[in-house]
Amino acid sequence: VQAKLVSGGHSYPDWPTGSPVPYAALCKSFSLIENTTKRLEKLQHTSLLLRQVLRLTPNELLLVVHLMCNKLAADFEGIELGIGESLLIKAIAESCGRAIDKIKSDHNQIGDLGVVAQQSRSNQSTLMFHKPKQLTVARVHDTFLKIAITSGGGAQNGKVSLIKQLLASAAKEGDEAKYIVRALEGKMRLGLAERTIEVALSQAVVTWEQEKSDKKPSLAQLQEAEEILKGVYSELPSFEVIIPALIEHGIYNLRQYCRMQPGVPLKPMLAKPTKAITEVLDKFENKTFTCEYKYDGERSQIHFVSKTSKIDYPKTAVDTNKIDKGVAKIFSRNSEDLSKKYPDILGVLDSWIKPGVESFILDCETVGWDKEEKKVLPFQQLMTRKKKDVIVEDVKVKVCVFAFDLLFLNGKPLVKETLQERRRLMYESFNEIEGQFSFAKAMDGNELEQIQSFLDESIKDSCEGLMVKMLLGSESSYEPSVRSINWLKIKKDYLAGVGDSLDLVVVGAYFGRGKRTSVYGAFLLACYNSSKQTYETICNIGTGFSEQVLEEHYKALSEHVIDRPKPYYSHSTGNTHAPDVWFEPKMVWEVKTADMTLSPKYRAAEGLVDSNKGISLRFPRFLRIRDDKGPEQATNARQVAEMYRKQESVGGGKKGVDDDF
Ligand code: ATP
């Protein structure tokens, strides 16, 4: 891959116009992005590559963007890589003619399987080495897709063989093997956030558009383009729809062609924690707000288009033709398709809908329902339901859907409307059916006593507490994917503590003592640092588990054991506290804590509050598994720092440094 030098010393990767994008061009950009810590430079390298793709091979822009995000399709399609370490080691060993033990020991030494693959490839004897045909982005993407969707008997062997074919075609020089392996592992380690890719894409498109008339974009044009793309993507997070529209209609017309679409889940709006009703009153002073019950179940975004509607259907990466006319789907907080988990909901959906309603997106909480007592069941009961292929007749835990927002109605997005208006339309468009579908219980009183008694009532009705939301004005619009100050949550349990529970990734474990020697008795947890793309340890946890739960954790976690901590784990390096086993970052647990403290042993939010100490949790207790969250959606280091500071400012926390194990 040649490179053309442009201003600022950065260069465009280059290839002949109209020919497939070489994978080496992408890898060259990856390597430049990886080797700088400066966000602006990362942005520039990303944007240069995307611009060049637009100039030379625009029909492959979607593939390039997907590989940059290390995705194969939109999140809701559920197509993921994340191949286990042992499978990758086997494929590297076989394709490079080396022993598995050698690969393992290199991995132990180097700590990065991508680098091990690249070195093995480079050192491969020339006798065994036939110069392969240059890898293209299209071939890599296609093979990744095949690897991800290979399932059933013999799937492991099938995957290994596909990986081997890719590695055998990787160039000896450069970084192709390295990035192939990292992509398959599900961790590119470029320090490149998806938001940066969105900005780079907007810049690339606007520059490319201006170039056609020999112009350069102004700063204002670049900013406007960024705003448009971010806005469109937050309502329609699917590059499959956005990129072809960008190329065909340009960025300034994008809003017209890419609007919210039932079938493509939005990233949900999230709330900020608070510790006291008085804090809510301070934050929402002089504003009109409303309180709703905070139900304790599973977030569910329900999408519907009637069979007779003329609305467009979402494009998908695979099986485009499979979509029947009409849409009736349920998506999780994580944009996962839950339709096969809740056929009982989809089966009765029609009966909630009033005449005249043709399409909608509802934001809801699905909660376990006790039919006899006619009340909400604890979250734990809901978790006992099967996750897939549920047959309506077999359902033991019945559910009731509590709707709290309406985001789209009859072909029109409502997110910019006030909550009061969205609520009015929601009440107007659906029928409540006891034990099946209800509107979230709401109370618009703004006085302290009113909120206090509504909070007490919510707890009596088996809810977690309250959600307090702005009701009027532009601040009450629905903000997809934002943890917004316009939504506050008050959880009863945490009123005197740190305000919220944390969702943490299990990265290690210690074998138990006494009765518990055959299972893990304690665990090492970490939060996620999204700017560094690392997992930072935050506490050890050994309480809150029953014997049965420990057995279950042992079984589930054993599948994810790895030989050594991932290089992107930030943990204390002394041997005293090292866990007996390390895990891939897979499991997310919700954990409650009494308070937070600075600690030299843990790394959470290190540098954000104190330059040498991390933040750790005191007396953490396990609450539940959060399988609706992926590891990267775990509580963020910034949130940890925010919670810590808040605790400090109200004087509730211990300021001392925690030194005990
Ligand atoms: P949590 O552990 O508190 O659910 P989270 O990170 O999943 O945290 P938050 O934004 O912090 O999400 O809390 C809001 C969550 O509460 C929503 O994701 C939703 O699942 C649930 N919920 C229950 N009732 C409501 C309601 N009336 N309005 C909004 N969200 C609600």
pLDDT in tens, 167-202: 999 998 889 999 999 999 988 989 898 899 999 999
Atom of ligand 1 nearest to the CA of 440: 27
The CA distance from 630 to 519, in Å, is 24
Q: 61-68 and 23-34 helices cross at what angle (nearest 10)?
A: 40
Least confident of 54-58, 300-304, 495-499: 495-499
d(CA 265, CA 251): 22
Expressed in angstroms and rounded, the spacing between residue 627 Cα and the centre of ligand 1 is 15
Residues 6+ apart with CB under 8 A from 51: 12, 203, 204, 207, 208
Report, as residue numbers or ranges, the catalytic residues. 294
* Most informative mutation of 335, 362, 365, 454 for ligand 1 (most atoms within 8 A of CB): 365
ipTM of the complex: 0.96
* Higher-pLDDT residue of 661, 314: 314
Length of the chain: 661
Strands laid side by side in the 483-491 sheet:
270-274, 483-491, 465-470, 289-294, 442-443
How many CB atoms lie under 10 A from the CB of residue 470? 23
Q: What ligand 1 atom has the least distance to the C-alpha of 633?
A: 6
The two structure tokens encoding residue 300: 């569910």
Helix, strand or coil for residue 588? strand
105 CA → ligand 1 middle, Å: 45
Radius of gyration of the chain (CA): 26
| Distance of CA 8 from the midpoint of ligand 1 (Å) | 46
Please tell me the chain's helix, strand, coil percentages from 3-state DSSP, rounded to the nearest 5: 40, 20, 40
Ligand 1 atom with the shortest distance to the CA of 333: 18
Q: Whose CA is nearest to atom 30 of ligand 1?
A: 294
443 alpha carbon – ligand 1 mean position (Å): 17
Residue 467 Cβ contacting ligand 1 at under 6 Å: yes
pLDDT of residue 650: 43
Q: Which pLDDT value is given to residue 518?
A: 85
Burial class of residue 598 in the structure, from the number of CB atoms within 10 Å of its CB (0-12 exposed, 13-18 middle, 19+ buried): buried
Does residue 588 line the site of ligand 1, with CB under 6 A?
Answer: no
Instruction: Using the structure block, give the residue that is written with the tokens 């060993």.
Output: 93
232, 235, 241, 244 alpha-carbon torsion, rounded to 10°? 0
- Number of the ligand 1 atom closest to the C-alpha atom of 269: 10
Residue 270 alpha carbon, nearest atom of ligand 1: 10
Q: Is the pLDDT of residue 656 over 70?
A: no
| pLDDT tens-place string over residues 490-546 | 987 655 555 578 999 999 999 987 777 789 999 999 999 998 899 999 999 987 788
Neighbours of 463 (CB within 10 A): 25
- Residue identifier of the C-alpha nearest atom 4 of ligand 1: 296
* Amino acid identity for residue 366 in this structure: T
Task: Tell me the CA–centroid distance for residue 129 and ligand 1, in Å.
Answer: 55
- Cβ of 589 closer than 6 Å to ligand 1, yes or no, is no
What pLDDT was estimated at residue 130? 63
The reply to whether ligand 1 has any atom less than 6 angstroms from the CB of 51 is no
385 pLDDT more than 60: yes
Q: What is the mean pLDDT of residues 548-572?
A: 92
Does the structure show a pLDDT above 70 at 414? yes
Measured in degrees and rounded to the nearest 5, phi and psi for residue 641 equal -60, -40
594 vs 460: which has the higher pLDDT: 460
Q: Tell me, what's the pLDDT at 431?
A: 97
| Residue nearest atom 25 in ligand 1 by C-alpha distance | 294
What residue owns the CA closest to ligand 1's atom 20? 299
Closest CA to 495 of 635, 592, 590: 592
pLDDT at 138: 97
Residue 33 clears pLDDT 70, i.e. is over it: yes
| CA 493 – ligand 1 centroid, Å | 15
Ligand 1 contacts CB of residue 550 (under 6 A) = no
Burial group, residue 513, by CB count within 10 angstroms (0-12, 13-18, 19+): exposed
**Residue 350 CB partners (closer than 8 Å, separation 6+):** none
pTM: 0.80
Distance 526 CA to ligand 1 centre (A): 21
Say whether pLDDT at 131 is over 80: no
Q: What span, in angstroms and rounded, lies between the C-alpha atoms of 270 and 292?
A: 14
Please indicate whether residue 382, judged by its CB atom, sits closer than 6 Å to ligand 1. Answer: no
Q: What confidence score (pLDDT) does residue 289 get?
A: 96
Confidence of residue 659 (pLDDT cuts 50, 70, 90): very low
318 pLDDT above the threshold of 70: no
Mutate to test the pocket of ligand 1, among 274, 293, 294, 459 (most ligand atoms within 8 A of CB): 294
Query: Across the chain, what does the average pLDDT equal?
Result: 89
Residue range 600-623: mean pLDDT, rounded: 91
Euclidean distance between the first and the last CA atom of the chain, given in angstroms as a whole number? 53
Q: What is the pLDDT of residues 433-442, one digit of tens each?
A: 999 999 999 9
The percent of residues in the chain predicted with pLDDT above 70, rounded, is: 91
Work out the widest C-alpha separation in the chain, in whole angstroms: 82
Nearest CA to ligand 1 atom 12: 270
Q: In whole angstroms, give the CA distance from residue 257 to residue 319.
A: 23
- Which ligand 1 atom lies nearest to the CA of residue 405? 28
Specify the 3-state DSSP secondary structure of 330.
Answer: strand
Which residues on adjacent β-strands are paired with residue 413?
408
Q: What pLDDT is stored for residue 3 in this prediction?
A: 61
What's the pLDDT at 2? Answer: 57
Place of tokens 């240059």: 134
- Residue 489, ligand 1, Cβ within 6 A: yes
Distance 327 CA to ligand 1 centre (A): 25
Tens digits of per-residue pLDDT, 226-266?
A: 999 999 999 999 999 899 999 999 999 999 888 898 889 99
Which SS3 state, helix, strand or coil, does residue 483 take? strand
Residue 153 makes CB contacts below 8 A (sequence gap 6+) with none
Give the pLDDT score at 11. Answer: 66
